[in-house]
């Protein structure tokens, strides 16, 4: 019943900004740890940023100082503000939701393309 839908991807020039959003449909959004991951062609999927139920955050080193993750529990959304974008940020960005309630629950969105041109 849980679905994640990403939006906000697109084409931007080097140094530009984009804001990605992920909407979760279903129950108990506030109990999910949320995260953004990305995958470039020919590369493994990698962590971008996480925000946990308690509000703490975690960022991959290359994103620190440029990207900001936040969540709006009232709207069941998690956002990723991306600034100072570089061509190496080009990838498909995926939203992820996880929680443990007797067993592990994991949900992924279908992704949104981000392309940063030189």
- Give the DSSP letter string of 26-73: SS-GGGSEEEEEEE-TTS--EEEEEE-TTS-EEE-GGGTTTEEEEEET
pLDDT-derived band at 31, boundaries 50, 70, 90: very high
Per-residue pLDDT, 28: 84
Work out whether strand 77-82 and strand 67-72 pair parallel, antiparallel, or are unpaired. antiparallel
The residue assigned the tokens 């849980």 is 2
Per-residue pLDDT, 26: 80
pLDDT-derived band at 1, boundaries 50, 70, 90: confident
The residue assigned the tokens 């992704």 is 111
């Amino acid at each position: 019943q849980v679905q994640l839908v990403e939006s906000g991807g697109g084409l931007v020039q080097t140094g530009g900004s984009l804001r990605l959003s992920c909407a979760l449909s279903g129950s108990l959004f506030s109990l999910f740890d949320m995260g953004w991951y990305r995958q470039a062609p020919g590369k493994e999927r990698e962590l971008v940023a996480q925000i946990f139920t308690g509000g703490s955050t975690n960022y991959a080193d290359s994103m620190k100082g440029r990207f900001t993750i936040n969540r709006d529990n009232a709207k069941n959304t998690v956002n990723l503000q991306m600034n100072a974008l570089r061509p190496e940020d080009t990838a498909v960005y995926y939203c992820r939701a996880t929680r443990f309630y007797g067993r592990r629950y994991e949900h992924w969105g279908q992704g949104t393309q981000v392309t940063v041109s030189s």
